[in-house]
A = this chain, B = another copy of it.
Amino acid sequence: MNAPETTQRPARLSDEVADALEAWLRAEGFAPGTQLPTEKVLCERFGVSRAVIREAVARLKADGCVRTRQGSGAFVAARPGEGVFRLPLPDVLPQDAADVFELRYVVETGAAALAAERRDAADLARIGAALARMRAALAEAADAVVDDDAFHVAIAEATHNRALARFQQFVGQQFSGSRAPTWSAAGHRAGRARDAQREHERIFAAIAAGDAPGARRAAAAHLVGAARRLGLDPARWRALAEEETES
């Protein structure tokens, strides 16, 4: 068990340079159109080869904050990350997965509270329909991953906030693959589907009642349960759950 001190961050040299470049641009606050140093200069400044610099610049190009013209140079196109947000994709690193899940936690609890305040009849109908489908699937031990997904999306849409809805959909989708074990045959046997459904019902009840703090607490409880079902470290979530439930 050699946990080699989790040098968690960029093992890739090009990523390191790209981060540094992005941070530099951000700090300097260059106006769009200003020219970047030449690749040769950047090579010397960072002490790396041109290939690394090119890959780093390529990432900034992909992010849309830098634009290059052959023979001319590289230019700032916009402030770094102006309109795009890139998530550290959770592969095998449990740390990244936990981080992203925590982000989902923050957003989804807030969304549940907002949904309780803003939901209208159509929202409640959509949420209730997804809930009913899951209830039916629970009775016959069937799969309901798509309905589970629809349930959370419907809640996000009940906030009537496009940005929030899209972002919750975005983070939630990062774990859509991990939602299968709950509704699998083994999940039904182990009671995971039943537990999740009970949490779902509580969220819906609070939203339907217009109880924003209650919806927040119910969503928090659901996410803590989801984290446990995902095998994430529960210790990290205890504090959060207590924070929510004590209010």
Instruction: Point out residues on A near B: beta carbons under 8 Å.
Output: 11, 14, 32, 51, 54-55, 58-59, 61-64, 67, 70, 77-79, 81-89, 91, 96, 99-100, 102-103, 105-107, 109-111, 113-114, 117, 161-164, 166-167, 170, 173-174, 177, 212-213, 216, 239-240, 243, 246-247
Contact = CB atoms under 8 A, between A and B. Distances in A.
Please report whether the interface of chain A is mostly helix, strand, loop or mixed according to DSSP: helix
A117 B237 CA distance: 11
Contact of A247 (B85, B110, B167, B247): B247
Given A77-B91, A106-B106, A100 B163 contact: yes
B87 A84 contact: yes
A174 B85 CA distance: 11
Copies per complex? 2
B173 A79 contact: yes
Contacts of A59: 58, 61-62
A218 to B, nearest CB: 14
Given A55-B58, A58-B58, A64-B86, A106 B164 contact: yes
Contacts of A91: 67, 77
Contacts of A167: 85, 103
A78 B88 contact: no
Nearest to A65: B89
Given A64-B86, A170-B81, A177-B32, A164 B243 contact: no
B213 A246 contact: yes
A155 to B, nearest CB: 13
Nearest to A101: B163
A213 B58 contact: no
A164 B79 CA distance: 20
Contacts of A77: 89, 91
B106 A111 contact: yes
A107 B88 CA distance: 17
B96 A162 contact: yes
